[in-house]
């Protein structure tokens, strides 16, 4: 699978991470109650791992910014 490089500000990455986490919550707890929903455990698992990676990157960026300011 090819890698894609994307440049985002730490604020943009934080927003994207929050939106992705909200969507995962919806897919895990809300969508299954809808008629015709097809559960995809592999996709949900990959999404959770991706959100965790994004959170780690966002936290590192925030810590880096704080250490430079102090």
Residue 47 above 80 pLDDT? yes
Provide the whole-model pTM: 0.80
> How does pLDDT run across 7-27, given as a tens digit for each residue?
999 899 999 999 999 999 999
Distance CA 14, CA 24 (A): 15
Q: Rounded mean pLDDT of 29-45?
A: 94
In the numeric block, the tokens 């090819």 are attached to 2
Domain parsing of the chain, residue ranges: 11-69
Q: Say how far apart CA 14 and CA 54 lie, in whole Å.
A: 8
Q: At residue 31, does pLDDT exceed 70?
A: yes
Q: Which of 9, 31, 35 is nearest to 22 (CA)?
A: 31
The answer to whether residues 64 and 9 touch, using CB atoms and an 8 Å cutoff, is: no
Report how many helices (DSSP H) and strands (DSSP E) the chain contains, helices first.
Answer: 2, 0
Model pLDDT, residue 1: 86
Q: Give the percent of the chain with pLDDT over 70.
A: 99
Per-residue pLDDT, 70: 64
């Amino acid at each position: 699978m090819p890698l894609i490089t994307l440049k985002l500000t730490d604020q943009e990455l934080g927003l994207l991470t929050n939106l992705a986490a909200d969507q995962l919550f919806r897919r895990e707890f809300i969508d299954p109650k809808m008629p015709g929903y097809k559960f995809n455990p592999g996709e949900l698992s990959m999404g959770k791992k991706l959100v965790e990676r994004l959170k780690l990157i966002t936290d590192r960026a925030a810590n880096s910014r704080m250490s430079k300011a102090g």
